[in-house]
Structure 1
């Protein structure tokens, strides 16, 4: 099996897009991270999306069909249904996943997974590159407290994870099924119980990641306290075996929430969209107070994504983020989705990296950079 990169960027394998960028051309995103709604049945204590509410718009299947057609036409390679809402709360999500795969896009979804029935799993798993269950505690009561739902949701979701793995093996699917813990330092008591639970449920992996905060520290994440969790996280990783990987996102967990770059070059490669249909460059800027970064909305009549990509407004925003007028260290969230890609591109701009294609096998999930 090729490498599963859970703590890094796969941008260096996309040399054609990098060459276009180096020549100063206007590029098409490789990956688009989006949601189909801002709604969610959960109320997680670490939720960044709650701070990024914007004017509601309904995303219909017709809108998504046009959007996915445009993505396939212009050269987008992958769509991840993650972003700022629980996409399974929009009933179109099953058909969106299947249609996206049909037109040639790699499709993925991250979800609390509580509403995934066997029928749904059998429909969507063949069309997915990965399915990730957001599962941030290893015991029922703490799951309830951290994820803001009744205790029974813990047991129901565990059964859904087992069902997903059963179907994957039964029909020999390539889809990767994982679990993800968003770790706030005060919830360290759940690291080992969750690693053990994963060992019982047998997903392909469990990834333990940091919690992002906004530029004002609204969630109150104390990044210094992650240092105290190193031994626990190493113990959790020791539960890995040949078919179950436990991986901590070390580079971000131990970063103190700090960046080593000021300009943002990653958003044209890895665009984010809100569950309202809003196109902003990234999830840091969905809220109405960041209107200066808002570009367009795919739900507006007559608006097509392929036209937005060519618009002067789109590139005005992208160019601003890459300019000396923008400071990623102080003007947006900590350790964002584009962070690892930004590190690579910034090093190139500083003459520290040649952007050479890595040798060896291609990593898994190549188009989800």
Structure 2
């Protein structure tokens, strides 16, 4: 039984069929969704960080330039932005202002954060601009949190206090923002799953999502961690048992399909068709058609510091990069297994294979 009303373990292109139709007609389209990295630095040292290779300089996006580009994005058809990336987004001193500007442009805004820097003042400014916020906590005890996130044990209580404040302010201000918690499953935190189910339901988060580990091809601290069928079944049983016994409103989401797909270690699509629908802006301002290929000139198509979004999104560099992504990439060799666009790619690859007798629906 699925409890994923957010379709976290799926994709949402069914609700953007106008953009899909334009893509099918080989039109160069604006992305629906962008991920933006406000800063390159982080206050945690997570042992599973997929972007550990990118945090080698103290770099932050210029807020004024970024807000100008965000206004351009809104006019061009970008519909959503997630602030996450190489570092911890809450460390950007003007994040709340940037998020408010994006929201005022009609763009849905989200933040993925470790949450430790949050407090009532931060949440009162930031939450009104957000569609959702996701706390990456990945533990239910101070000891596990310290081991997984590379911080002192006191950091856990600070993060939990921050989460409780976010939930409180959401309720007191009657905000529509979704407040969720993410638990990335690795060997070091599996024993915390049962306690996590209880803790985050008691806090009253809107959801608790269990997601699989995924190695970025460039990451430095690769563990090679995998999921057996027995382990997947065990996690599923814990989740289902809790859901049957709990009367809480927290949605419990075990990303079982993604976990099984990672266990297969085989791509379920043959070409990358999803790049036109999203993009990534690094803390240095570089626009990439895919975040897996940071520092790779094949996928770097401009820089927001000195180029307007029209030139970046509809320029020849992006067009060429998207074509290379579709026709030149060796998916099973170069790409990240279970990448952010995996489910979207499965759908788009299905559309590419037009069956015979297509009008007999």
- After TM superposition, the score normalised by the length of structure 2 is 0.91
Native 8 Å contact 1:143 1:151 kept in 2: yes
From 344, 347, 360, the equivalent of 1:344 is: 347
How far apart, CA to CA, are the structure 2 residues paired with 1:68 and 1:310?
16
Native 8 Å contact 2:232 2:259 kept in 1: no
From 3, 13, 16, the equivalent of 1:14 is: 16
What root-mean-square deviation, in Å, do the aligned CA atoms of Structure 1 and Structure 2 show?
2.2
Cα offset, 1:199, TM superposition: 2.0
Partner of 2:228: 225
Partner of 1:362: none
Cα offset, 1:180, TM superposition: 0.2
Native 8 Å contact 1:261 1:329 kept in 2: no
> Relative contact order (alpha carbons < 8 A, sep ≥ 6): 1 or 2 greater?
1
Cα offset, 1:335, TM superposition: 0.8
How far apart, CA to CA, are the structure 2 residues paired with 1:78 and 1:327?
29
From 206, 230, 253, the equivalent of 2:259 is: 253
How far apart, CA to CA, are the structure 1 residues paired with 2:81 and 2:229?
31
Deviation string, structure 1 residues 319-352 (Cα, Å, up to 9, x no partner): 10111x2121211211111111111001111236
Cα offset, 1:186, TM superposition: 4.5
Say if 2:210 is the partner of 1:176. Answer: no
Cα offset, 1:253, TM superposition: 0.5
Partner of 1:361: none
Say if 2:283 is the partner of 1:280. Answer: no
SS for the counterpart of 1:96 is: helix
Native 8 Å contact 1:184 1:211 kept in 2: yes
**For 1:108-127, what aligned pairs fall within 5 Å after superposition?**
108-127=110-129
Cα offset, 1:119, TM superposition: 1.4
From 99, 102, 116, the equivalent of 1:100 is: 102
How far apart, CA to CA, are the structure 2 residues paired with 1:227 and 1:329?
25
From 28, 32, 35, the equivalent of 1:33 is: 35
How far apart, CA to CA, are the structure 2 residues paired with 1:273 and 1:48?
16
How far apart, CA to CA, are the structure 1 residues paired with 2:60 and 2:96?
16
Cα offset, 1:202, TM superposition: 1.4
From 59, 62, 82, the equivalent of 1:60 is: 62
Aligned residues: 349
SS for the counterpart of 1:213 is: coil
- Name the CA shift for 1:68/1:224 in 2 (closer, same or farther; >3 Å): same
Stretches of structure 2 that go unaligned for 5 or more consecutive residues are 357-361
Stretches of structure 1 that go unaligned for 5 or more consecutive residues are 354-369
- After TM superposition, the score normalised by the length of structure 1 is 0.89
How far apart, CA to CA, are the structure 2 residues paired with 1:197 and 1:221?
29
SS for the counterpart of 1:28 is: coil
How far apart, CA to CA, are the structure 1 residues paired with 2:59 and 2:164?
35
How far apart, CA to CA, are the structure 2 residues paired with 1:216 and 1:102?
36
Native 8 Å contact 1:226 1:253 kept in 2: no
How far apart, CA to CA, are the structure 1 residues paired with 2:340 and 2:62?
26
Partner of 2:314: 310
How far apart, CA to CA, are the structure 1 residues paired with 2:4 and 2:197?
23
- Name the CA shift for 1:352/1:5 in 2 (closer, same or farther; >3 Å): farther
Deviation string, structure 1 residues 150-202 (Cα, Å, up to 9, x no partner): 11111011111111111111121111000001112443112222112112211
Partner of 1:321: 325
Cα offset, 1:224, TM superposition: 4.0
Partner of 1:363: none
Partner of 1:294: 300
Deviation string, structure 1 residues 134-155 (Cα, Å, up to 9, x no partner): 1011111110110111111110
How far apart, CA to CA, are the structure 1 residues paired with 2:100 and 2:320?
34
Cα offset, 1:45, TM superposition: 0.5
From 145, 155, 158, the equivalent of 1:156 is: 158
